[in-house]
Structure 1
Amino acid sequence: MKYLSTLVLLVTLCYAKDEDESFLPEYIHPCTLADEEFEKCVRKQIVESLPHFANGIPEMSVPSIDPVDLNDIIIDGSGLKLKFSDAKMHGLSKLKLADFKIQLGVDNESFILAVKGNLSLTAQYNADGRILILPLKGEGDALIDCRNIEVNISSLLEHVKGKDGKEHLKLLTPNYEYEIESTTFDLKNLFNGNKQLAETTLKFANENWRQLMDDLAPPAVKQIVKTIVKAINKFLSKVTIPRIVIGYKERL
């Protein structure tokens, strides 16, 4: 009986291992590399899976990336000290694919992804100083809405041997660019609740939003890109290349 129990346990573990390696969410389907429509196929998979992917894939240990936890963001210069703490970026699950290109089976395999949509940042702020000619002072809740932000990520693809001993793809440290159409700020409790001063200052800040975003956007976008790439690499570490790319010849 002892030997029978051991045999059953080994079979169960092997079956579970095979199941884990072969698992793909129902909304992701492999694409055939030799097919002329390969890139179109991959693009379709990304469009269909983007909302699900942003919300996380627990079965593959891929975490949710909506919201994105940001590090403290500090603006200190030009007469203004502004700190955002406990900052979170919301809306990645609703971003749309703006552009996509992939090259596999060549010497320098690469990946380009562009997403576009509206994002919002919530945080606690602490401000003391001036925006150009107007004072800015207060602390409390902050809401920052970014309209039509587009983030373009490009990366080379590396081949790595996973914990399973098999070959996987991995995005290297990416390059990225971004554009923002407009931004509005809502800072509660400015000037200890002085409504008139607060409205005047916020109106001025929203008319001159680019000055604030020149300092605020880079660290926020950097963290967003880092989070997206980390989640993609987590997914890629769970699936072998032949599992998602039919007809791909492994290199390792």
Structure 2
Amino acid sequence: MFRYFCFLALFWNVKSATAPFITPCKNGDTACVQASATALMPLLARGIPEFGMKPLDPLKVPRITSEQGSLKITMTDTELTGLKDCKIETLKHDRIKGKQVLVLRCDMSLEGDYVLDGQLLILPVQGKGRYKIDIRDIVIKILTDLTSEQGPDGKEHWKVVKWRESFQVKTGVKFHFDNLFNGNKALADPVLEFANTSWKDVMQEIAPPIIHTIIAAVFEEFKALYKAVPAEELYIP
């Protein structure tokens, strides 16, 4: 399985994009892989310059757009925090089929600028300003298809072909949008109360493109890892 799950803490200060001495998990040893990956999460959150990977926590997302039904939201300069504390519930890898399954359980916060206009379920809404969304206990399942290609080093490297995600929030979501209706509290407060009371329905309405954009940003860093490190360094045949 992934060698970096077992060696990265030892090699953190090594200025090389390939792995030195490693003690990898055996192929198919899910318990070992999950334990090692859990220990690795805080290190990945800091970023790995040796592999060209930027920090994952905080994660900077320049632009997120969500246009679901009659509501359009644009979020810019978003900062996402919380990924470093995500718990890995499932991590499986089928090297022969080129399939990966990852299930994460996280608390996360998004904060940035927003513009929205349209109708939030049953209520008209519009505004422009700062926003914050706190998500408690979201479970994200990611299915990934991988292939192999020859890198500039002449060695086999993994490449992400496609991925798809699904999610479910288990505990709750808190929405805050400054300056709704140009600061008219008489109009804004009922909308915010409705959004926070009906958070499950609101998340189904607006969240899929948001979660997709976040996962896409995370995958850019893993693409950098696969590009930097030969496949032979990442698993036991």
Answer whether TM exceeds 0.5 for this pair: yes
- Give 1:23's match in structure 2, choosing from 15, 19, 22: 19
Q: Counterpart in 1 of 2:231?
A: 241
Q: Counterpart in 2 of 1:5?
A: none
Map 1:44-83 to 2 at 5 A. 44-66=35-57, 67-75=59-67, 77-78=69-70, 80-83=71-74
Map 1:143-162 to 2 at 5 A. 143-162=132-151
Over 3 Å counting, the alpha-carbon distance change for 1:133 and 1:215 in structure 2 is closer
Over 3 Å counting, the alpha-carbon distance change for 1:226 and 1:129 in structure 2 is closer
Q: Counterpart in 2 of 1:212?
A: 202
Q: Is the deviation greater in 134-143 or in 190-199?
A: 190-199
Q: If you compute each CA radius of gyration, which structure gives the higher value, 1 or 2?
A: 1
Report the count of equivalent residues. Answer: 221
User: Which letter maps to 2:218?
Assistant: I
CA–CA separation in structure 2 for the residues paired with 1:230 and 1:155: 13
Over 3 Å counting, the alpha-carbon distance change for 1:70 and 1:98 in structure 2 is farther
Matched residue of 1:46: which SS?
A: helix
Q: Counterpart in 2 of 1:40?
A: 31
Q: Is the deviation greater in 159-168 or in 121-130?
A: 121-130
User: Which letter maps to 1:60?
Assistant: F
CA–CA separation in structure 2 for the residues paired with 1:62 and 1:235: 7
User: Which letter maps to 2:88?
Assistant: L
User: Which letter maps to 1:152?
Assistant: K
Matched residue of 2:152: which SS?
A: coil
Map 1:50-199 to 2 at 5 A. 50-66=41-57, 67-75=59-67, 77-78=69-70, 80-104=71-95, 106=96, 108-181=97-170, 182-199=172-189
Over 3 Å counting, the alpha-carbon distance change for 1:81 and 1:235 in structure 2 is closer
Quote how far apart the aligned CAs of 1:240 are. Answer: 2.3
Matched residue of 1:123: which SS?
A: strand
Over 3 Å counting, the alpha-carbon distance change for 1:167 and 1:74 in structure 2 is closer
The 8 Å contact of residues 73 and 216 in structure 1, kept in 2 or not, is answered as: no
> TM-score, normalized by length of structure 1?
0.75
Q: Counterpart in 2 of 1:4?
A: none
User: Which letter maps to 1:94?
Assistant: D
The RMSD of aligned alpha carbons is: 2.6
User: Which letter maps to 2:202?
Assistant: L
Q: Counterpart in 1 of 2:4?
A: none
The 8 Å contact of residues 75 and 215 in structure 1, kept in 2 or not, is answered as: no
Quote how far apart the aligned CAs of 1:204 are. Answer: 1.1
Matched residue of 2:56: which SS?
A: coil
The 8 Å contact of residues 17 and 50 in structure 2, kept in 1 or not, is answered as: no
User: Which letter maps to 2:53?
Assistant: V
User: Which letter maps to 1:103?
Assistant: D
Quote how far apart the aligned CAs of 1:205 are. Answer: 1.7
The 8 Å contact of residues 118 and 146 in structure 1, kept in 2 or not, is answered as: yes
CA–CA separation in structure 2 for the residues paired with 1:157 and 1:131: 38
Over 3 Å counting, the alpha-carbon distance change for 1:158 and 1:130 in structure 2 is closer
Quote how far apart the aligned CAs of 1:56 are. Answer: 0.9
Over 3 Å counting, the alpha-carbon distance change for 1:99 and 1:135 in structure 2 is same
The 8 Å contact of residues 152 and 178 in structure 1, kept in 2 or not, is answered as: yes
* Moved beyond 6 Å, runs of 4+: none
> TM-score, normalized by length of structure 2?
0.79
Q: Counterpart in 2 of 1:228?
A: 218
Gaps of 5+ in 2: 1-14
User: Which letter maps to 2:159?
Assistant: K
CA–CA separation in structure 1 for the residues paired with 2:228 and 2:72: 44
